[in-house]
Chain A
């Protein structure tokens, strides 16, 4: 299945700069958010918010085909 991964702020350093934080991933069925983090070796201590299709989810959430997965480090403002 295919998933669109979107990384933000400092997490973008895990992808080539020209990607602008976006990577289309080919994953095996039943892959979880945690699997993606392992596969890309994302820095776990920098992960604060995870969203699938704009809704917050936990690490063990199973991904589905065409999901949009967003991962954020701690961010704030106002």
Chain B
């Protein structure tokens, strides 16, 4: 059995799967102040009377880190940044407790200026004196050579409870994002660690021995103890759960598709290329922080079933705010849900109240109630369709860097729409029409997110840079640096990379049979001095694909 749990904004849903079929569902209200109690509550309920020894895994998606960041309930963090030349330090400052120190490595990972111990000790002393116990350390090009970050951490380790290191967050280049990611990781570290401890204590108490996993923003999972080192990877896992849910409930491969989760306040949109969800190329953005956290490419628009509808200067405006439930459920203002009720597209709520609310805007628009409801419904679908269109266009205009890619560039052309969420039934066919897509509402859509979490695979990514001239190979995410002989080839690098990727995936909790690797970047350049090739610069990025261990109702890989 697999237990999947999704902690949503309003409800916490759980689903117990047996042989990839839904055996049981449970739902409790989410207590935002005590997420653990919601989790414990829903687990208690769904596992009552079950044989815990047959539980193979438990997977959570949690909004803990996201909420803490969005609500500003994070720890104060000191940052020591080895900024190096380039952008002015002020452009790199993430908070008032950022201290800049000298020393940097070049774009090839060669030390260009040494660290100054005195400066670092001084900065650490200042931060400590200010009562700060969490530190983030980030250096320019530290993914190419982490020695400066490591050295800084070694120097000040005694002064802080925990230190987050930039190069461990991601192998991608982007110093500002590295700083932001490191900062965020440090800021939720304590909160998240406590959560992990509580969950583990609960598991021990109740006799759950199955491994416990946490969903990440990229739709993959990692083992709960591992997640404690990098809590920042769990932010924005909500939209990821919904996309993985859709993937788990419907056959998505064979064509490009749009995945839409339409809720009360917002609508989340994701794109699937032949069944594979698209990722943010660099990382997700949260509260204005652009990060290096690998995450699914999702766009959230302030338009949902309960969005307030108003008429401004004759123009219909829907959202972005939700001022309460739909009028049909006692809310203060007309909403798209009310329009759908008036049009007979959904049997829910109090039809008279819906009529009354829509009549108010019909008057301002000088339309019949029916026509006004039609206009609201059409605009709702049109606004979503426009957001989808803009997102597809953005993906198709993404810059590429080789002639081959530019000339052969595959375009994303969605032909199917998968839609879940409250108003899904009412909007599916019209929205599909506007997008030129066949619309599908998957079965069990109400527990899509919990199913997505339950069936998500453990993912991992590594970035490998090998320079045969220097005889070095680095894997940033692993903090690994090794010597390689001058005659090393791309194939040798690939072999080491794949070994390390599998190792990493296993360490993060993947089971051997589930590890499906792929190379996502593959470049090889000659290093030339004068007119002679002196070596090779080989760059590979490889990942365990985000995906499912199996779809609901399918055998798939048993674990």
Q: Does A pair with B? A: no
Binding site for B on A (CB under 8 A): none
Binding site for A on B (CB under 8 A): none
